[in-house]
Amino acid sequence: MRRVVARPDIGARDKRNPGHGTRNATRTSRSAADRSGRIGGVGQRAGPASSSRRRALSEDGVDDAGTLTHALYLAAVALGRTRDAEEVVRVAVAETQRATGVEAVSLHLLQTERDVLILREYAGATPAFRDRMARLPRAEARLADVAIRENRIVACSVDEHPAPQLRALYLTQGFRHVTAVPVAGRDRILGVIHLASRLAVPLGPSAAAMVQAVGGLVGVALENATLREMMLAQQERLRALAEGAVRAREDEARRIAHELHDEAGQLLASVHIALDELVAQVPERSEALRRIHALLDRVEGQLRRLSRELRPTILDDLGLGPAVEWLAQGAAERTGVSIAVHAAIPRLSSAMETALYRIIQEAVTNAIRHAGTPHIEIRVWQEDAIVHAAVRDEGRGFDAEATMARRGERGLGLIGMRERVDALGGRFVLRSAPGQGTEVAVAIPILEDP
């Protein structure tokens, strides 16, 4: 039976000679390498580079400790400056190989459901070796299996590797020593970092500690990436729900508008006919009946206005610009507020036109009801692939943050605007302060009509 060597706790010392365990282990490793006289599998004597690499692997001198610390620093910087796990993994593997001086470093991630290790990143190995290491059944990768199960660094010489197929592969590539370092997540082992050296020299304590620390950084990066993917998926689900809610509201508004325009209109027409018949039958009451006619005409006009506001046909027929001008004209006639419109905008997707119209409509309604403003300005414009809209009033203003947090009518109106913007992947900004007026501004990327 071949022997697998599990590394003791890093920093442990020879109990019989405290403080010299590392030096003794180094001397033993160096002697074994010196006896061989050659770098395994390549037929060349170990020159100065090999001596330097041997020191990096086993002696952990001051200069080499600085190299290892720098490698760990670079991996930490990569983790801090980017949310891209791929970059963190690439930097970590490349710097691990450079700092330790081994010929091949690979990161394998564990697929628990299939019980296999999948190659995620590698540095230094030949393409053929990399391809063979691309997928390792856990039962075959016995060194890695021990590292995963026992959550510790495991190392052995290639001659003593417990897996015959991998032992033959390592020997073919000239490797003489292999180390498996677990990559730990928050509550489970995510994978293994393999290090393969053509020197029969194990990693020294500092190098092993550095690789283990790099593995921890890689584990953080991978778990952060998983959490970010979950968060993005949740955001996409919420966006889809918001979009569905907006679509349902528009469908309901269209249905009500149709009933107001057609069914209520038909009923009012029937009442007009009945009143005409009544005038013919009771001519002495004709003046009173004409007043009823006039009231019914006003009711019919209000119903037509409500129907158009619920779902303006001009928006579907002519687009956002004409619909906003029609909205402003009607609001100005009813309230006496001066409303300026600058909306030279081409046709957009139906979803975008509807969202922008509703946001502008709500902002104008809020300004008229609450701001006490004599003037409102509406602007709609396009910059590159972004459509912008802004509604500005000169009213009394308010505490924007407090209003957004409130659940009252006004707060809910603003929340509805934000939901429409979020559903289209846009940005919503509310600017206001007491005595300084209010501006509602949105920016939405242009989408094709689905």
What pLDDT, in 10s, does the model give residues 354-385?
A: 889 989 999 999 899 888 889 999 999 999 89
Whether 255 has a pLDDT exceeding 80, the answer reads no
Q: How confident is the model at residue 93 (pLDDT cuts 50, 70, 90)?
A: confident
- The whole domain housing 360 covers 312-450
Q: What is the pLDDT of residue 11?
A: 37
Of 195, 230, 265, which residue is a domain's last?
Answer: 230
Residue 391 belongs to domain with CATH number: 3.30.565.10
Cβ pair 147, 163 in contact under 8 A: no
Residue 194 domain flag: yes
Mean pLDDT highest for which of 4-13, 70-79, 428-437? Answer: 428-437
Domains held by the chain: number = 2
Q: 47 and 192 share a domain?
A: yes
DSSP-derived pairing of the beta strands 104-111 and 189-197: antiparallel
Residue 319 domain flag: yes
User: In terms of pLDDT, which residue wins out, 308 or 438?
Assistant: 438
- 60/246 Cα distance (integer angstroms): 64
Of 173, 203, 230, which residue is a domain's last?
Answer: 230
Residue 399 domain flag: yes
Q: 222 and 325 share a domain?
A: no
- 277/259 Cα distance (integer angstroms): 26
Whether 348 has a pLDDT exceeding 60, the answer reads yes
Which range is least confidently modeled, 184-198, 262-276, 323-337?
262-276
Whether 168 has a pLDDT exceeding 70, the answer reads yes
For 41, the 3-state DSSP assignment is coil
Cβ pair 300, 337 in contact under 8 A: no
Cβ pair 400, 430 in contact under 8 A: yes
Q: What is the pLDDT of residue 289?
A: 81
Closest to 265 measured CA to CA, from 290, 296, 239: 296
Residue 61 belongs to domain with CATH number: 3.30.450.40
| Neighbouring C-beta atoms of residue 15, cutoff 10 Å | 7
DSSP-derived pairing of the beta strands 338-342 and 375-383: parallel
Cβ pair 33, 46 in contact under 8 A: yes
Q: How many CA atoms lie within 13 A of 394 on its CB side?
A: 8
For the segment 24-79, what is each residue's pLDDT rounded down to a tens digit? 333 333 333 333 332 233 222 333 334 444 444 444 433 355 565 666 666 666 55
Whether 14 has a pLDDT exceeding 80, the answer reads no
What's the whole-number average pLDDT of the chain?
76
- 125/196 Cα distance (integer angstroms): 9
Secondary structure of the chain: what % helix, strand, coil (to 5)?
60, 15, 25
Locus of tokens 């419109």: 341
Which range is least confidently modeled, 55-64, 121-130, 341-350, 403-412?
55-64
Of 204, 230, 256, which residue is a domain's last?
Answer: 230
Residue 351 domain flag: yes
Residue 294 domain flag: no
Residue 69 domain flag: yes
Q: 207 and 100 share a domain?
A: yes
Which range is least confidently modeled, 28-37, 205-214, 427-436?
28-37
DSSP β-bridge partners for residue 178: 156, 196
Residue 293 domain flag: no
